[in-house]
Structure 1
Amino acid sequence: MADVHQVIFYPVGNGDTTQIVLSAGRRVLFDFCHRDKSEEDDTPEIDLKTQLKADLKEADRDYFDVVAFTHADLDHIQGSTEFFELQHAKKYQGEGRIKIRELWVPAAMLLEEADNDHQTEEYVLLRQEARYRLLEGKGILVFSKPQALADWLEPLLKARGESTSARDHLFIDAGTIVPGFSLPDDGVEFFCHSPFIKHCDDGDIIRNRASLIFNVRFHADGEYYDYLEVGDATWEEIEDIVCTTRYHKNDDRLAWDLYNIPHHCSYLALNEEGQKGDKETEPKPLVKELLLQGKKDAYIVSCSKPIPDVKDSYEQVQPPHIQARKTYERYLKEVDGRKFLVTMEEPNAKKPEPIVFEIASGGVTWKRSTSIGAPAIIVSKPPRAG
């Protein structure tokens, strides 16, 4: 049977939820953003809870193999503690809740002591869940191990009569392959680009800077394809990643056939504050280098509200920013890429639907919605294997 993997982007407004469905059936969910208003009939945002439960029911499942929260901002976790089963307390179990076989979180999610405006109940519950799983030693991977986390964990392990290194296998460093998936067995591997230890050891934790960032490499019938899954990183993290990856001679991990751009098409993923540009944002040098790593026929996806090219858009303070879109489109054209897609624009802004890509030997395929009479698919040409 031919290998066919899927990457699905859900229209949740300025928020992130992406699902990877592997050819053999395993499922990885990145982030979760359910808007209560989406349960009404007259809103464009998708009813994420209903959609995901329907997906799982069709697959005869009540769980995800992995749920990864890139960071703890509300637009990446909203509604999650009502949807998922949490192991740390019985009150969050049963009643149709969806199980998480393995939770992936940045170290910051266990350490962060946010101010009251950001210390949402959902964040606190997810922090409790992550701490519980880590202490129990199962069902979790934590990305980076800063000293502050070791200082919290080691006395608790000693109190349990365990060695201070008993959980070391659950910590994943930047620049390494995540265990549990492999190209031969699953047709995928996850290479961790970030976070770095410094994101928690340099003082105050800034969520966006400590986000999970991955190169996801797919294998399909002898061909290889690369997907960049990026949290709300700023230009500084992107430049760090490019610099560090090249230093360690992992340049191939910067290439991409599919790029989920940071922070809902914010110009701050391209350049510093105040440098949005009048018509287009000029990217920092190493950010530009990453954009030029796009392969022929590549796609860029912005998980965001619509980004119309109208006068008012150029004065927009909050993302998405039309100036950033113009930049991404320019560099996508330069690498002979295919299309810049916005989750809240496809097939139209009134009733957007999930953007679905299939990854197979024929290339990266965007499955166009048939609801507007468009061609069913657009297929890219396969790149050289390797």
Structure 2
Amino acid sequence: MDKEFSVDSDGLHQAVDLMSRDFSKAEGLALPIELPKVGMGSTAALNLLAPSILGGAARLGEATSFAHMDPPTPWITWAITLWNASLNQNLLHPATAPVARQMEQRVVAWLAPFFGMNGGHMTPGSSLANLTALWSARECAGITEVIASEGAHLSIAKAAHILGLQFRTVPINAIGSIDAAQLPSDMRKSALVLTVGATSTGAIDTLGLAGRAAWTHVDAAWAGPLRMSKYANLLDGTESADSVAVSAHKWLFQPKESALVLFKDTEKAHAAVSFGGAYLAIPNVGVLGSHGATATALLATLLAWGREGVAQRIEHCMDLARCLRDFVAVDDRLVLYAEPQTGIVVWRPKEENLFDHVLQHLPVGSTSTTSIAGGKWFRNVAANPSADIDILITNIHGALADRS
């Protein structure tokens, strides 16, 4: 038997040990220019790659990480991901993933009711979840166009293009939500996409618009998990939609690539996007053919934390965003874009010529930037429960004081 396909306890312990070492001073990507003719062995490869992989990555769980929608992941997902890699389950066929398929079905059954949906399946991200939902809309409701706000995620325009559908944007209002007054009066052949947590601003579209078009899809990639917290009311109206997309690798703290597409009428939606094959025991549902056991890590996290544990971490992130919002709101040297809705704070110096100066004084990984109506704004995203908001506030204050 080839030992490379067996459990190597020493090698796996070495991998874990390397994770605890400090490679922050590692420089560059230390790789040979050409593919080696003779391999160096697995342990040597681990030692070679550790400084680059572990030292060169963005540290999403650091106290200063407050810039993006990408969270740190709990250790239980690392363990489950290791198990998944060792088993290489393929959910395309029940024979190659008998239990993993059941686990995905159970996770979907747990989460779908929060959004008023009755089922769905997992995808590698909300871009594919959005594509799948709009594909179902085309097949089930006969839509010919997709309508979304100017603040919608770029995956919506991509999906419309792939599906051969017209794509129409609607202006946003002063807080970044879809301007309902600009919607067309006739949407009988349209899919209306409502965003819950716009990428740049975190804004929530008016969910009371759900049901006005032939198909309503809610892109809740970022803020969907708020439905499991004390902020659940922010998503009221989602239950009137036909489909919902949620990224588990955002506010459910999962490794890439983990998301869900959920449907009001799953049987009809799945039937519309299913294909059979001579080699398949059951029809293949959705965009993916072969796909791995992503749901197992999410299921493990939900079992470990429960709904209360998920809510606690999301609510703590919302508190961090509120602290930053309060600091910006009372400092007359700063301007808020709008009141934060979903843990994203968008702001800038009142004197716009100070923008680059302030940016240079902020900790690496603490702040991202975005462009809104041609203007530059700072964007902070509360995806990391371990963030220390005082560090960021102290640096903002210091940068402004330096130029006062």
TM-score (norm 1): 0.28
* Larger helix share, 1 or 2: 2
* Larger strand share, 1 or 2: 1
TM-score (norm 2): 0.27
Structure possessing the higher relative contact order (Cα contacts under 8 Å, 6 or more residues apart): 2
